[in-house]
């Protein structure tokens, strides 16, 4: 490996099991020499799998509901104590739609579900940055990354209200990133990842067809969770210091393809 994160300290949100994108990022960050705190919602802890990752990476776990300012304040304070100083990188890898979970169609959303999903999936990013910014918890040239999906910009009918949540999340990255850059020289970006077979991803209706379609549209094929971890590590490293306020596509080229030969072939009579 390259020691890209040697001596860097971080907080990683959202590792639920070995399929999680955050799990792969934690493994790669460890390989690259970082130390970090792992966090997830208290309810996710009950599944117990996070302990395995903590042991493997020599990390401590601090539970935090990412919608709770109290939990986030405790998380940031304790992380700085455990890691022995300010933070260099933060991964926000959190998403959840109650409308999706309960099978509500987009045209028949239940609005308290909408509000909850928006708070967890989008506003939590603002809350995380609010605590980090106001506590001056980030080192200069630190890097904050949140994960997003292309449905924020183009229609994917079954992505439901997560499309709106992702649009809001990407906007927060730009708006908060401006102040974080100007005042504390911290960069903030979103990575727009290919469909990936994880717990959250598989919750999207018709996910198998969806992932195959994206794969056949992309000249390089879908990016895996492991690929996403590599890219995220580069965004945490000192090699990307002047990249900020961006929504970065990590999707094998999908976002710029109108149609591929493979997909055309399925419509062409031989």
Q: Which residues lie near ligand NAD (CB under 6 A)?
A: 13-14, 16, 20-22, 40-41, 44, 65-67, 93-96, 120, 147-149, 193, 195-196, 198-201
DSSP states of 146-187 as a string?
A: EEE-GGGTS--GGGTTHHHHHHHHHHHHHHHHHHHHHHH--E
**Are residues 100 and 160 in contact, defined by beta-carbon separation less than 8 angstroms?**
yes
Closest distance of CB 94 from ligand NAD, Å: 4
Give whichever of 101 and 105 is closer to ligand NAD, judged by the CB atom.
101
Give whichever of 3 and 52 is closer to ligand NAD, judged by the CB atom.
52
Collapsing DSSP to helix, strand or coil, 249 comes out as strand
Other Cβ atoms less than 10 A from the Cβ of 143: the count is 27
Closest distance of CB 170 from ligand NAD, Å: 11
User: Taking the C-alpha atoms of 235, 240, 243 and 244 in order, what is their torsion angle to the nearest 10 degrees?
Assistant: 50
Closest distance of CB 44 from ligand NAD, Å: 4
Q: Which residue is nearest to ligand NAD (CB)?
A: 201
Closest distance of CB 81 from ligand NAD, Å: 21
**Are residues 96 and 120 in contact, defined by beta-carbon separation less than 8 angstroms?**
yes
Give whichever of 65 and 161 is closer to ligand NAD, judged by the CB atom.
65
Collapsing DSSP to helix, strand or coil, 65 comes out as coil
Give whichever of 138 and 214 is closer to ligand NAD, judged by the CB atom.
214
Closest distance of CB 96 from ligand NAD, Å: 4
């Amino acid at each position: 490996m390259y020691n890209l994160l040697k001596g860097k300290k971080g907080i990683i949100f959202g590792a639920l099991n070995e399929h999680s994108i955050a799990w792969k990022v934690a493994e790669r960050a460890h390989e690259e020499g970082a130390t970090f705190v792992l966090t997830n919602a208290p309810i996710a802890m009950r599944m117990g799998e996070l302990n395995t990752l903590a042991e493997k990476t020599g990390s401590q776990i601090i539970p935090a509901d990412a919608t709770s300012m109290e939990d986030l304040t405790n998380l940031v304070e304790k992380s700085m104590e455990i890691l022995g100083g300010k933070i260099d990188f933060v991964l926000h890898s959190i998403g959840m739609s109650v409308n999706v979970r309960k099978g509500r169609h987009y045209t028949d959303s239940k609005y308290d579900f909408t509000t909850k999903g928006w708070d967890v999936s989008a506003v939590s990013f603002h809350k995380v940055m609010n605590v980090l910014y106001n506590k001056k918890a980030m080192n200069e040239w630190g890097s904050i990354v949140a994960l997003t999906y292309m449905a924020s910009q183009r229609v994917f009918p079954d992505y439901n209200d997560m499309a709106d949540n992702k649009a809001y999340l990407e906007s927060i990255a730009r708006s908060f990133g401006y102040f974080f850059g100007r005042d504390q020289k911290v960069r903030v970006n979103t990575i727009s990842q290919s469909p990936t077979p994880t717990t959250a991803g598989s919750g999207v209706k018709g996910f198998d067809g969806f992932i195959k379609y994206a794969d056949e549209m992309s000249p390089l094929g879908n990016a895996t969770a492991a690929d996403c971890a590599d890219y995220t590590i580069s965004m945490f490293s000192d090699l990307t210091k002047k990249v900020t306020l961006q929504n970065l596509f990590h999707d094998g080229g999908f976002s710029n393809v109108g149609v591929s030969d493979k997909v055309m072939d399925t419509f062409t009579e031989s």
